[in-house]
Amino acid sequence: MNKAISKAGAVRALGAMSGTSLDGVDAAMVETDGLSIFDFGDSRYRSYSEEERAVLRASLGKWQGEEVEAAAALTTRIHAEALAGFEDVEMVGFHGQTLAHDPRGKGTLQVGDGTALADALKVPVVWDFRSDDVAMGGEGAPLAPFFHFACAQWMGATEPLCFLNLGGVGNLTYVDPCFDRPEEPGALLAFDTGPANAPIDDLMRARLGLPMDRDGAVAMKGTVETGALELFLAEPYFSRMPPKSLDRNDFAEMIGLVKELSDADAVATLTAMCAAGVAQGMEHCPKSPTRLLVTGGGRHNPVLMEMLRVSLDCPVEPVESVGLNGDMLEAQAFAYLAVRVARRMPTSCPGTTGVKALVGGGIVSVPASVRSLT
């Protein structure tokens, strides 16, 4: 067995994340024993080219076929490039690229070959984090909450707080740091709040040929259409009790609700929808959180952040305010989760995904040089 898996104590793990916003691959080092965070290490971002993004976009929502195969090959190749060159890596956490997510139906699909990546990087790779959770009746998402619990301990939190990730989809983690372990009942509650950057990015690309509403510049010029916002909030998803999760395209009809609006009004309204979904979600918190720490690309949008501040009763801050890296938090999460999987610790629980029992889902692939010895 590889020494990184069998040894006790801290492991230098490298995590990678390519989210539903399809912007690129984040890679980040974490030193952890699967319980505590001892140190954060180097990080790197590898953006997708327009051609690469087109390959991934063509495969979204599909479960098989040539487009899926092309996306899988691309994901593996780009991750091999993005993860090469880090020093003293003992283990890799490889999330892959989510193409489809239907936990109550077909399941969940993250493409990318962890075994091929282990061969390329010559270290063990932990991958396919979500499938076991779905097979056990869970949503398969979100998976970062166990890491958020470790972050709350790392920052010395003593009162309940929330982490909000605003990527393609928004997801919220409520953390009560008075508990010792994340799997204890009451320590965590997590769920997707609704669409976040994905519909804004899609509209910006379709109407203006731009990848995003950078710095909220377009939304800042617009007016929110309250009728469209009310129709959005009438969606049954918002009345469902958590845990619950979404696919990137579950709210594709949002674009239809704003199709008659000007560019600025449409983007402002989609931005307000994201904030309103978060506000609705915060009502599910068992106790009033003392602060909301925001990570992901959405925290760079001042219009969205101000909408959150106006609609919530607690301080809203980017995670940088407590010394964390909001661009790399999800990559760091999968480094941390990789160590937990390798050490047979749970990575999800009923409070985070609705799974029926504690699950430590994932496949551990060792390099060919190690496989040949077994």
Q: Per-residue pLDDT for 184 more than 50?
A: yes
Q: Per-residue pLDDT for 7 more than 90?
A: no
pLDDT at 290: 97
Where b means 16+ CB within 10 Å and e means fewer, 263-293 reads: bbbbbbbbbbbbbbbbbbbbebbeeebebbb
pLDDT averaged over the chain?
Answer: 95
Average pLDDT of the segment spanning 226-244? 95
pLDDT at 134: 95
335 contacts: CB under 8 Å, gap ≥ 6: 13, 14, 15, 28, 29, 30, 32, 91, 92, 93
pTM: 0.94
Distance of alpha carbon 131 from alpha carbon 362, whole angstroms: 8
pLDDT in tens, 21-80: 888 999 999 999 999 999 999 999 999 999 999 999 999 999 999 999 999 999 999 999
pLDDT at 4: 53
Q: Which two tokens stand for residue 206?
A: 């379709």
* Confidence band, pLDDT 50/70/90 cuts, at residue 86: very high
Distance of alpha carbon 367 from alpha carbon 124, whole angstroms: 6
pLDDT at 370: 83
pLDDT at 368: 87
Q: Which domains does the chain have, with CATH numbers?
A: 3-138+331-371 (3.30.420.40), 156-322 (3.30.420.40)
Distance of alpha carbon 200 from alpha carbon 202, whole angstroms: 5
Q: Per-residue pLDDT for 168 more than 80?
A: yes
Q: Per-residue pLDDT for 244 more than 80?
A: yes
Which is higher by pLDDT, 361 or 92? 92
pLDDT at 1: 44
